[in-house]
Homo-oligomer: A and B are copies of this chain.
């Protein structure tokens, strides 16, 4: 329990907070760009920092396979290895391993699986995941848990959440306490309110530095997700950060913040940067569309990223058509900056008591995007 968290202010269920780690402070609500393999794809780490990101997510599964946790530890930990001196959160590897259908075998002890790279066999368990995340020098270690897809029958989710809670206890026990480092529990329970309550209660008893809401954004749709978020966050301790894993689109994030969530991660801004998609306040733009061919305008009016500051849509369109890496670099930068600006606007709106106005404007802009040519 060595990560300090302050709730500075609340508006309704929404919270403005600060999370203190050995590598710096994270202002919440916060969005964490994903650096799967020890790099946020197509970005220099100093550029990621320049977008305003205060914490990155690293993937235990990918890093344990390549280059391996021992190598990262030998190189001084993930911060040093990848030249990122701000906080890092690592997932437990559980979610990725569970997704390897056919290649993995789950038991009470843990998961046997084959690497997607070379088929080599590995074993992950709460104890093993804690060890790896320790070697990576992760500031925020995530419990090893099981995540079931939605919808799933009640008894399937129940059996799964019960095992995940036993794994949570093992994770906490195996976690090595250090000042400025911490461990988050993960609430499961699918879309069953009583199982979410059961999970939250178990986690509270074990005691964590923060609490994630897991098992959402797995295909259930925004409406179903919000239904769960209408009750799930409040089941978790008020005085600890709440992290909604793998979420999401900008409107998912705004909706979740209004329901009391503090932290987010998602590959969407980076992945979209590689598929010509750009986020704007009026919705997404596909820069490959031929209507951008002679467009002088910046991608998004008012954005201060390098792409919007220095280039026309025509140029980015050209880069895309020519298959130039710079298109991916600039679009990724813009998208991460879009997400960070969104989070900064949310924090500012909380501070200035204008959250409702902000949210109304946000949804109005998005709706406008549907009816006008961006």
Give the B-binding residues of A (Cβ under 8 A).
37-39, 41-44, 62, 66-67, 71, 74-75, 81-83, 293-294, 296, 306, 310-312, 314-315, 317-319, 321-322, 324-326, 328-329
A329-B44 in contact (CB<8A)? yes
In the complex, which residues of chain B have a beta carbon less than 8 angstroms from the beta carbon of A321? 66-67
* Residues A325 and B328 in contact in the complex (CB < 8 Å), given A314-B67, A315-B38, A315-B81: yes
Q: List 15 A-B contacts (CB under 8 A).
A: A37-B318, A37-B324, A38-B318, A42-B325, A44-B306, A62-B322, A67-B314, A67-B317, A75-B296, A75-B312, A75-B315, A81-B314, A81-B318, A82-B315, A83-B310
CB atoms of B81 and A39 under 8 A apart: no
Contacts of A42 in B (CB 8 A): 325-326, 329
Asked whether, in the complex, the Cβ of A41 is within 8 Å of the Cβ of B329, the reply is no
Distance to closest chain B CB from A232 (angstroms): 35
| Smallest Cβ-Cβ distance to A332: which chain B residue | B325
The answer to whether B318 and A66 touch across the interface, beta carbons within 8 angstroms, is: yes
CA distance A44 to B329 in the complex (A): 8
Nearest CB of B to A332, in Å: 9
Cα distance, A62 to B323, chains bound together (Å): 13
Q: Tell me if B329 and A325 are in contact (CB < 8 A).
A: yes
- A304 smallest CB distance to B (angstroms): 15
Known: A44-B329, A71-B314, A314-B71. A322 touches B82 (CB 8 A): no
Residues of B within 8 A of A317 (CB): 67
CB within 8 Å for A326 and B81 given contacts A75-B314, A315-B75, A318-B67: no
CB distance from A204 to the nearest CB of B (A): 39
Check B71–A293 contact: CB distance below 8 A: yes
Residue of B nearest to A325 (CB): B42
Q: Determine the residue in chain B with the shortest Cβ distance to A42.
A: B325
Cα of A293 to Cα of B75 in the assembled complex, Å: 11
Q: Distance (Å) between the CB of A120 and the closest chain B CB? A: 14
Once the chains bind, are B81 and A312 in contact (CB under 8 Å)? Answer: yes
Q: How far is the CA of A310 from the CA of B47 in the complex (A)?
A: 14
Report how far A96 CA is from B137 CA in the complex, Å.
51
Given A39-B326, A43-B326, A71-B293, 4 new contacts (CB under 8 A) = A37-B318, A71-B294, A75-B296, A83-B315
Tell me whether B329 and A74 are in contact (CB under 8 A).
Answer: no
When C-beta atoms are compared, the residue in chain B nearest to A70 turns out to be B294
Q: Is the CB of A326 within 8 A of B41?
A: yes
A75: B residues at CB distance < 8 A: 296, 312, 314-315
Q: Kindly report which residue of chain B lies nearest to residue A319, judged by CB atoms.
A: B39
Closest chain B residue to A322, Cβ basis = B37
A159 to chain B, nearest CB (A): 36
Q: Roughly how many angstroms separate A82 CA and B294 CA in the complex, as a whole number?
A: 14
Shortest A73–chain B CB gap in Å is 12
Residues of B with C-beta under 8 A to A71: 293-294, 314, 318
Closest Cβ–Cβ distance, residue A44 to chain B (whole Å)? 7
Contact A322 B44 (CB under 8 A): no
